[in-house]
């Protein structure tokens, strides 16, 4: 397969989906999703710039 490794993003997606499934009706906090998604220290600035 050419290009970037696709296993890592798929694992991240599976973890995020599991957290959202367990969170139930009220969902999960952004902090929890960032922690589970393992986005690293740049995550808050990336998220705030995209959702502002």
Report the pLDDT value the prediction gives residue 20, as an integer from 0 to 100.
95
User: Is residue 1 in a domain?
Assistant: no
pLDDT, greater one: 18 or 46: 18
Report the pLDDT value the prediction gives residue 11, as an integer from 0 to 100.
92
- Tell me the residue range of the domain where 31 lies: 7-51
Q: How many domains does the chain have?
A: 1
User: Is residue 43 in a domain?
Assistant: yes
Contact present, 20 and 27 (Cβ < 8 Å): yes
Neighbouring CB atoms inside 10 A of 36's CB total: 16
User: Is residue 13 in a domain?
Assistant: yes
User: Is residue 14 in a domain?
Assistant: yes
Report the pLDDT value the prediction gives residue 47, as an integer from 0 to 100.
55
Any residues with CB less than 8 A from the CB of 46 and at least 6 apart, and which?
A: 39
- Tens-place pLDDT, residues 6-28: 898 899 999 999 999 999 999 99
User: Is residue 32 in a domain?
Assistant: yes
Task: Band the pLDDT of 50: cuts 50, 70, 90.
Answer: low
């Amino acid at each position: 397969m050419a290009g970037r490794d696709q296993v890592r993003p798929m694992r991240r997606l599976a973890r995020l989906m599991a957290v959202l499934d367990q969170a139930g009706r009220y969902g999960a906090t952004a902090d929890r999703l960032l922690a589970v998604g393992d986005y690293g220290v740049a995550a808050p600035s990336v998220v705030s710039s995209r959702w502002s």
